[in-house]
Amino acid sequence: MTSAPTPSVFPPSPAEEWHAILKATLLQVPALPEDLFKRMRKARLTFGDRVHCPFLRPFFLSPEDEERVRTVAETIADLGERITSAALDDNHLFAQLHLREEEERLARIPAGFGRACTASRLDAFLLPDSLKFAEYNGESPAGAGYAETLAEIFRELPVMDKFAQRYEVHSYPLSAKLLDALVMSYLDWGGSSKKPQIAIVDWKDVPTVSEFEILQKRFERMGIPTLIADPRELEWDGKSLTTQGKKIDLVYRRVLINDIVAKPAECSALVKAYAANVVCVTNNFRCKIPHVKAFFAVLTGEQNGALFSQGERELIRKHIPWTRVVADVKTAHYGQPIELLAFIRKERENMVLKPSDEYGGSGVTLGWETSEAAWDAAIQLALSPKNGVWIAQERIPIRREIFPYMAQTGKVDYRDMLVDFAPYLFRGKLCGFLTRLSATGLANVTSGGGQVPAFRVSPRSSAANESGRITA
């Protein structure tokens, strides 16, 4: 626990201004935390029994921050598409991604035209003098509906009214951008309906089903008919894919390829319709190629340098952590030859081990939080064929900030939190952010982290300070 931060001697930052306004507001409206909890539960912003956001401040970024992130994130997304296309034509390159046999079969099914990743997300740490990306989620990442709804709730807080008198505040219309990307991919695929029937497809018992309901309402409000369907509810008659008595034009696929591989019978209708090319599926199965964490090993591997321009190689070196697939091999570390396993052992304090294809931080081992013996055990685990492919990645700088935390009792204290800043990319264009906070080295909902909305802010001129304005 941390005491309330004291203002700096420099002009106050947006966070410091928010904290000052919050402190005065809580004296006038002591029920604010309880009211915010109620609003989140009503909006179904929950993960199990927990609300998504136990924090009373958004994350703020400047226009300069946004542009810096945009340039790099969009380049990485484009490299993901380039690697996907190149790997499908180059078996040596494809082998570096280490997809399982059935994943490769799915990835090689012709998918028509368009991008592998209609929706994707990069996990990043944004600092004043550094921007590093830890991994690329190329497989229809969750959270856009939650992030947009949470931003709308924060825009209605009394704190925001006063804050917006001092700052221009911009939020991100994620659901509209996502729908536009889905429909554009459908048109690229060859779809002709002006109002394609969408099915959001995932298991009916996943904890993110509340987000599907949020997106369904928003898509339908924008004029596009949308159903939520379990893969087991899909029907394939050899000509079309249907569910609930309706023909599906566009599948917004949220069921993971891991699950499709693990449960082929339950997902057979989806796969058969996809293979017959009678329905547009986004993200398509090729998205697994850039999604696996070994993708960063491809980006940073010296043998692949010819795939990139000099500017791209410089961008990779600056913003992508050095990454290698764990194996008993010789390689290079920024041009210096090394024995990989010996290097990983020696550099434990600066290394992370993680499975190439897991979710929610599963299996991640942080060397600096691990004893030498436990680190050696983790390396052996990573080398075991039965545990799949693992990567070793260099440690990257992280961002920490003080955030007001709401206990269930309604009390507010201040906590030092890690900030994981994850830009959403729809058809390769930056459209908004998922921002997660954690007290530990991992920031995700499944490890107990929390989420806050992100707003782009810039100071108002003194002449404009009398009336606030919030833009979307």
Q: pLDDT digits over 209-252, tens only?
A: 999 999 999 999 999 999 999 999 999 999 999 999 999 999 99
Question: Which segment of 68-77, 147-156, 351-360 scores lowest on mean pLDDT?
Answer: 351-360
Q: So what's the pLDDT on residue 113?
A: 72
Query: pLDDT: is 241 or 140 the higher one?
Result: 241
pLDDT of the residue at 47: 77
What is the C-alpha separation between 467 and 300, in angstroms, rounded? 49
Amino acid 9: pLDDT: 53
The pLDDT score that the predictor gives to residue 112 is 74
- pLDDT band at residue 114, thresholds of 50, 70 and 90? confident
Mean predicted lDDT score pLDDT of the chain: 92
Flag whether pLDDT at 19 surpasses 80: yes
Class at the top of the CATH hierarchy for domain 322-394? alpha beta
For residues 143-157, give the mean pLDDT: 96
The tens digit of pLDDT for each residue in 183-209 reads 999 999 999 999 999 999 999 999 889
Question: Per-residue pLDDT averaged across 309-332, rounded?
Answer: 96
Q: State the average pLDDT over residues 36-40.
A: 93
Among 40-54, 65-79, 128-142, 368-382, which is the least confidently predicted range? Answer: 40-54
Distance CA 424, CA 144 (A): 8
Q: Where are the domains of the chain?
A: 65-122+172-289, 322-394
Write down the pLDDT at residue 12: 87
Q: pLDDT by residue (tens digit) across 435-471?
A: 999 987 655 444 446 999 999 999 998 634 444 556 6
CATH fold label, 65-122+172-289 = Rossmann fold (3.40.50)
Condensed to tens digits (0 to 9), the pLDDT of residues 415-429 reads 999 999 999 999 999
Residues above pLDDT 70, as percent of the chain: 93
